[in-house]
Amino acid sequence: MSRVLDDCKHQCPDVFSACVVTRAMAARGLDSDVPLNDTFLAQPTVVEDPSLQSPVGEPKTVNAVFDSNCGSIPTSEESDKFDACSWTELFMISREELIHKQTMNSTLEPLVSNALSKEKSDEMSHYFMQDGLLCRQFVHRQGTFSNTVMQVVVPHRFRKAVLDLAHTGLAGHTGVRKTCDRIVRRFFWPRLKRDVASYVKSCHVCQMTAKPNQRMPVAPLQPIPVMSNPSEHLIVDCVGPLPRSKAGHSFLLTVMCQATRYPAAYPLRSITTKSVLKALVNFTSTFGIPKVIQSDQGSNFMSKQFSRALRQLKARHNISSAHHPQSQGALERFHQTLKSLLRSYWVELGSDWEEGLPCLLLASREVVQESMGFSPKQLVFGHSVRGLPAVLADEWCNAATSFWAFSPTNVLDYVSGFRYRLYEARAAATRKLGKAQSKMRCLFNRKAKHRSFEPGEKVLALLPLLHSHFQAKFCGPYEVVKCLPDYNYLLSTPDRRKKVQVCHINLLKSYAVPDPSTPVGLIASLPAEGAFGSSAVTVDGESGCLGSDEIDEVGCVHHRQS
């Protein structure tokens, strides 16, 4: 380090002493009074390039070169559009420089001329000059109280910095009304409210940390198809970790028939792809091989081993959009019921949850589904199961003479009656479920709003954060790569583990990109209404699934085949 200082001292003996400030000098404030008049810093820089010689043969200075290349030095207002200062530099702006910027601002010329004239119009009567500084008289009202304050009219170059000072950092990133109220107490410029609204809307921090009272409009409800054949469309998911059972199980694989809402749950030690496939074999051995299996984007369901097993079974894999549980609303609702049953069982009996799981599944299968009007057992097997209430009734009454006993019949009549009862039950369940979905759709769509994004548009995605509640809830901004069916979008997420991700529109909101080249105060060619302001400022259950043919092995999504 000492060798570097010695080299600097030999190369620049005139200024090296001025560049060294000791702690004692800094304490006495001597560093601000260092004379530089006799050094090369006070001399114009000479360009030695022969190609830049003036006509008289004298070398040009840097300013002369700038004039010859650019024609002329840009005016103050033109340079202010692209040379906005930061809010920390505001405190180094002198009064004389502020007055100079006001006089060089074309939008403030009518205000300056009117303030200097003796005959003032009624619209601009509240503008005046105070020792050459353009100011404005403003009546600030707070409830029944009001006081007159003096506002400094801010030129173009300093408006962005004033907005930063009143909104960012310790200002707390308040909304439009509070930010505007904080500014109008001391400052003003034409179209102030419009500039504040545009600034707050494009603030990156405000967009990343949504306010508690701000909610994104939801997309219209897209009901799942009412009814298909039983066990053709399965919904699978994993639950856990749960308290370890005596058998060492901590997880559950849940399976539900989309048509009949028939649930099943299989205890697992782990939720690897291999253990999940073994549990699915147990289900298919009873109900047959499905045509469609729907799951979320868990790693065990997205693995190559799981996809290979489905291809061998000729079953299509439908993948729900990320972090959108409404895509599997029926199964997610069953999870809530199952957890409540397990909790009640443990509180009442204190036994191992796995021991009571079969009986609890029976209880959930035999009760009538409100949206369908039948129990899952009736829609699958065509008759009600004999539970504990039926056992008690048979004990109290003579089963042979009771009015609910079936009359003896042959096999052919029983099969014919069974098929008829099963057909009528499924038809009635389809009608009732359709009515329930229509009612839900009408209620849900009252607050829904049609939104859409185009490829290339910037959006913020509501993705889960694992560590701190103080971190931003929204992630991004990300770019929309492709539009997919059912209000789904493919996003480019380079900062996450999955470089591309499918998200539902309810998790997305548009990102307003701040444009640093747009000067504040000239945001848009808006009507001239209020161009000079006024004396008082006042600011008044969804389907989101993708087919397996839409996602290849590297996670890229393609258009769905019609």
Percent of the chain with pLDDT over 70: 64
Residue 420 tokens read as 């008829």
More confident residue, 207 or 408: 207
Strand bridging mode 233-239 / 292-295: parallel
pLDDT band at 280 (very low <50, low <70, confident <90, very high): very high
Domains in the chain, ordered, with CATH?
A: 1-37 (no CATH), 44-73 (no CATH), 76-203 (1.10.340.70), 221-366+552-562 (3.30.420.10), 372-439 (no CATH), 458-550 (no CATH)
Say if CB 161 and CB 85 are below 8 A apart. yes
Say if CB 268 and CB 277 are below 8 A apart. no
- For residue 60, give Cα distances in angstroms to 50, 68, 70: 10, 10, 15
| Residue 339 clears pLDDT 50, i.e. is over it | yes
In sequence order, what are the residues at sequence separation of 6 or more whose Cβ sits closer than 8 angstroms to the Cβ of residue 1? none
pLDDT at 386: 72
Say if CB 230 and CB 257 are below 8 A apart. yes
Residue 133 CA to residue 379 CA, distance in Å, equals: 84
Residue 38 CA to residue 14 CA, distance in Å, equals: 8
| Residue 27 clears pLDDT 80, i.e. is over it | no
pLDDT at 296: 86
pLDDT band at 7 (very low <50, low <70, confident <90, very high): low
Give the global pTM.
0.55
| Residue 32 clears pLDDT 80, i.e. is over it | no
More confident residue, 332 or 367: 332
Say if CB 503 and CB 514 are below 8 A apart. no
Residue 249 tokens read as 């199980």
Strand bridging mode 145-153 / 127-130: unpaired
pLDDT band at 227 (very low <50, low <70, confident <90, very high): low
Say if CB 479 and CB 492 are below 8 A apart. yes
Chain mean position to CA 244: 36
Comparing CA positions, the residue from 243, 304, 240 lying closest to residue 266 is 240
| Residue 201 clears pLDDT 70, i.e. is over it | yes
pLDDT band at 122 (very low <50, low <70, confident <90, very high): low
| Residue 472 clears pLDDT 60, i.e. is over it | no
> How many other C-beta atoms lie within 10 A of the C-beta of residue 160?
23
**Residue 91 has what DSSP assignment?**
G
Collapsing DSSP to helix, strand or coil, 95 comes out as helix
| Residue 107 clears pLDDT 70, i.e. is over it | yes
| Residue 253 clears pLDDT 90, i.e. is over it | yes
| Residue 520 clears pLDDT 90, i.e. is over it | no
Return the half-sphere exposure (C-beta side, CA atoms, 13 A cut-off) of residue 436: 15
Say if CB 376 and CB 353 are below 8 A apart. no
Lowest-pLDDT range, 22-26, 123-127, 227-231, 243-247? 22-26
Give the pLDDT mean for 253-279. Answer: 90
Comparing CA positions, the residue from 266, 257, 269 lying closest to residue 294 is 257
Place of tokens 């990320």: 322
Give the pLDDT mean for 420-442. Answer: 71
pLDDT at 265: 92
Strand order in the sheet with 316-320: 263-268, 251-257, 233-239, 292-295, 316-320, 545-547
In sequence order, what are the residues at sequence separation of 6 or more whose Cβ sits closer than 8 angstroms to the Cβ of residue 480? 453, 454, 455, 456, 457, 458, 459, 489, 490, 491
Residue 27 CA to residue 213 CA, distance in Å, equals: 50
Residue 474 CA to residue 470 CA, distance in Å, equals: 12
How buried is 199 (Cβ within 10 angstroms: 0-12 exposed, 13-18 middle, 19+ buried)? buried
Percent of the chain with pLDDT over 90: 7
| Residue 341 clears pLDDT 50, i.e. is over it | yes
Comparing CA positions, the residue from 476, 475, 497, 478 lying closest to residue 489 is 478
Return the half-sphere exposure (C-beta side, CA atoms, 13 A cut-off) of residue 500: 15
Mean pLDDT of the chain: 72
Residue 295 CA to residue 318 CA, distance in Å, equals: 6
| Residue 460 clears pLDDT 80, i.e. is over it | yes
In sequence order, what are the residues at sequence separation of 6 or more whose Cβ sits closer than 8 angstroms to the Cβ of residue 410? none
Lowest-pLDDT range, 66-80, 101-115, 326-340, 416-430? 66-80
